[in-house]
Amino acid sequence: MKNDSNYRNILLTGSSSGIGFEAAKKILSHTNKLILTFRDQNSLEDTLNKLSEYIPSKSNIDNYIDAYIVDLSDLEQIKNFTEKLLNKNHRIDSIVLNAGLQYTGGICPIKSKQNHELTFAVNHLCNQYIAQKLYPLLLKSKIPRVVITSSEVHNPNEPGGKIGEPAGLGTLEGMKEVDEVIMIDGSSKFNADKAYKDSKLCNILFARELSRRFCLKGYNISVIAWAPGLVIPRGNKGFFRYSRKNNYVGQMIFALFARDILHISESPNNAGNLLKELCCSDQFFKPGFGYWSNKLKGPGRHNLEESLISSEANNDDTASNLWELTTRILSTENCLKL
Does residue 338 fall inside a structural domain?
Answer: no
Q: Output the CA–CA distances (angstroms, integers) from residue 96 to 99, 117, 171, 215, 275, in the order listed.
A: 9, 23, 28, 19, 9
Domain count, the chain: 1
Does residue 231 fall inside a structural domain?
Answer: yes
Does residue 179 fall inside a structural domain?
Answer: no
- Taking only the tens place, the pLDDT of each residue in 295-313 is 988 888 888 999 999 999 9
pLDDT band at 248 (very low <50, low <70, confident <90, very high): low
Indicate which CATH number applies to the domain containing 304.
Answer: 3.40.50.720
Distance, in Å, from the CA atom of 282 to the CA atom of 254, rounded to the nearest integer, reads 37
Q: Which domain holds residue 96?
A: 9-167+192-316
Does residue 126 fall inside a structural domain?
Answer: yes
- Taking only the tens place, the pLDDT of each residue in 167-189 is 999 999 999 875 567 899 999 89
pLDDT band at 257 (very low <50, low <70, confident <90, very high): low
Does residue 176 fall inside a structural domain?
Answer: no
Does residue 332 fall inside a structural domain?
Answer: no
Does residue 327 fall inside a structural domain?
Answer: no
